[in-house]
Amino acid sequence: MKVLIVVDNLRDWQVSIPGTEVALARDYLANPEFARLRNLRLFNFCRSFRYQSSGYYVSLLAEARGHRPLPDVVTIQDLKSRSIIKLSTTDIDGLVQKSLKPLASNEFTLSIYFGRNLAQRYQRLSRQLFNQFSAPLLRARFARKSGEWQLTSLKPLALGDVPEGHREFLYEAAQDYFARRRSPGRKPQSWRFDMAILVSPEEPQPPSDERALRRFARAARERGFAVEFVTREDYGSLGEFDALFIRETTLVNHHTYRFARRASLDGLVVIDDPESILRCTNKVYLAELLERHRIGAPKTLIVHRDNADKVAATLGLPCVLKQPDGSFSRGVVKVETEAELKSELARFLDKSDLVLAQAFVPTEFDWRVGIIDRKPLFACRYYMARQHWQIYKHHQPGGGGKYDEGEADTVPVEQAPAHVVETALKAANAIGDGLYGVDVKEFDANCQVIEVNDNPSVESGYEDAVLGEALYGRIMDVFLDRVQRKKGET
């Protein structure tokens, strides 16, 4: 991917970095040759980003041309809103307090160059702020009030305001950032596109094991993607890629959703897309959706404090209570008695204003039908864990730590019951055209959808047991087709 540095005055950028070109803002805006460029990453170093300034228009037109500007217009606008800055940085408050605690003064200014600061002790904080607001140069101001540090402002930093003593560090940070996407010895021209695969090395139950991840990467490379595994620390580098594949368990109030949303806004092909995450991770939404589309599901009641006393009479006992955003059998309990029901409902309603209650439907196994791009991909039988009513049996409340897992077997999609596959397709299509795993119970020739999961498990030896390498290839074919269509190549 070509790198273009845009400045208001050529004297503003005083170093030559291999693989980069420097252009004046007025030339980028007016010269049609720039509009015809493809596969371009643009770094906007204009002196002002105020509305309708040349800096604003450089990023705006870069997005319209399919170039990748840093900062983009969304970031430029977000940096003007104190409320957005405050909301977006809430989850790093602990890092702010820890990083600035040793300071004797009550005010502090942090200059951030491509996510870095001259002082090593502020590197983590600088990286996190850059991840939240991806602009090449940032200046953050903090003030200590009542013993707590607060971020009082965060603004783009103009090149002309970079102290002379910081210039060498800035150019070094820029060169490292530009080079980071290219591993040593790799020829950029051998890859047509760039794909990021988001993973979490610390996750105890990731959607894909290491062998499956290697197979995904191999399949992507065979289709012309340069592949890089990224973690939450790489949020600020998303614009370097053409596609994002999330292989970390997704949640809405979580960095995985922010990755999906940022990638979508930047024009990347992303699976899971933010809409699918929003729809699939909330069981209350799914219950309403299934009912609206007349798709079979266990008898369901959406519970709130005013109707909590009607659960037993409506559904009978035992019944199942579900935390709206639970996953991997976490946040799901079966209650046998009125006393259990009352106790568990009180616990759930302390966390969420709405809780899903469903009739208990015992089966030996659940079908899991994998679907991508509105087509069936795999069909598995997930058996309940031994002496348990769920696929996963967690050893401690809340779902952390060790767990037991039921057996699983995979069958060719065409050998799975046709009505199971049809029901799964209907449920997935109500969500979107991403990658889903639809859990279906089959009994008495009927089907009931339990869940539609975004980011379904794809593990070696399980979901790929029938298709093998072809399963990974079919997923990557979808990525390739969508990237090509976005770029007008098909």
Better-scored residue on pLDDT, 5 or 402: 5
Alpha-carbon distance 371 to 287, whole Å? 19
Average pLDDT over residues 358-374: 94
37-62 as b/e, with b when 16 or more CB fall inside 10 Å?
A: eeebbbbbbbbebeeeebbbbbbbbb
- 420: tokens are 């199971």
pLDDT at 403: 65
What is the average pLDDT across 335-362?
A: 92
| Closest by Cα among 262, 261, 240 to 193 | 240
**pLDDT in the model for residue 485:** 94
Who has greater pLDDT, 138 or 389? 138
- What pLDDT was estimated at residue 452? 96
Q: What is the pLDDT of residue 186?
A: 45
185 band by pLDDT with thresholds 50, 70 and 90: very low
pLDDT at position 240: 83
| 87 SS3 class | helix
* Res 184 pLDDT > 90: no
pLDDT band with cut points at 50, 70 and 90 for residue 119: very high
Tell me the pLDDT band of 382, cut-offs 50, 70 and 90. very high
Task: Look at residue 187 and tell me whether its pLDDT is greater than 60.
Answer: no
Look at residue 183 and tell me whether its pLDDT is greater than 70.
no
Cβ atoms of 179 and 211 within 8 Å: the answer is no
Predicted confidence band of residue 330 (pLDDT cuts 50, 70, 90)? low
Give me 15's structure tokens. Answer: 């170093």
DSSP label of 384: P
Write out the H or E segment, with its range, that includes residue 172. helix 167-179
Reduce the DSSP state of residue 302 to 3 states and report it.
strand
Tens of pLDDT, residues 396-454: 555 555 667 778 899 999 999 999 999 999 999 999 999 999 999 998 778 999 999 99
Identical topology for domains 79-173 and 188-272+479-486: no
d(CA 373, CA 433): 5
Which is higher by pLDDT, 74 or 199?
199
Q: Is the dihedral of CA 349, 353, 356, 357 positive or negative?
A: positive
Report the chain's mean pLDDT, rounded to a whole number: 90
Coil, helix or strand at residue 320: strand
Most confident of 74-83, 212-221, 264-273, 359-368: 212-221
Looking at 233-373, which runs of residues are DSSP E strands?
Answer: 243-246, 269-271, 300-303, 319-322, 332-335, 355-359, 365-372
Higher pLDDT, 482 or 254: 482
- Within 13 Å and on the Cβ side, how many CA atoms surround 452? 34
The per-residue pLDDT for range 31-60, each reduced to its tens digit, is 999 989 988 889 999 999 988 889 999 999
| Residue 355 token pair | 């809780």
Q: What is the pLDDT, as a whole number, of residue 396?
A: 56
Q: What is the pLDDT of residues 66-115, one digit of tens each?
A: 888 999 888 898 898 888 788 778 878 999 999 999 999 999 999 999 99
The C-alpha atoms of residue 313 and residue 438 are separated, in whole angstroms, by 29
For residue 136, cis peptide bond before it (omega within 30 degrees of 0): no
Q: Where are the alpha helices (DSSP H) in 16-80?
A: 25-30, 32-35, 54-64, 73-78
DSSP-derived secondary structure letter, 216 = H
Fold of 79-173: D-amino Acid Aminotransferase; Chain A, domain 1 (3.30.470)
Q: What percent of the chain has pLDDT over 90?
A: 68
List 197's β-bridge partners, or say none: 229, 245
Dihedral sign, Cα of residue 357, residue 360, residue 364, residue 370? negative
Spatial distance between the Cα atoms of 441 and 447, rounded to a whole number of angstroms: 6
Ordered by start, the domain boundaries in the chain are 2-73, 79-173, 188-272+479-486, 299-359, 365-454
The predicted structure's pLDDT at residue 401: 53
Question: Residue 122 and residue 106: Cα distance in Å, rounded?
Answer: 17
Domain 365-454's class? alpha beta
The architecture that CATH gives domain 299-359 is 2-Layer Sandwich (3.30)
Which tokens in the block code for residue 344? 């568990």
Task: State the CATH class of domain 188-272+479-486.
Answer: alpha beta
Q: Which long-range contacts (CB under 8 A, 24 or more apart) does 310-315 make?
A: 311/341, 311/345, 311/357, 312/338, 312/341, 314/357, 315/357, 315/358, 315/359
Encode pLDDT of 404-413 as tens digits. Answer: 777 889 999 9
Percent of the chain with pLDDT over 70: 94
Per residue in 243-293, pLDDT (tens digit) is: 999 999 999 888 899 899 989 988 899 999 999 999 998 888 999 999 999
CA angle 446, 452, 457 (to 5 degrees): 115
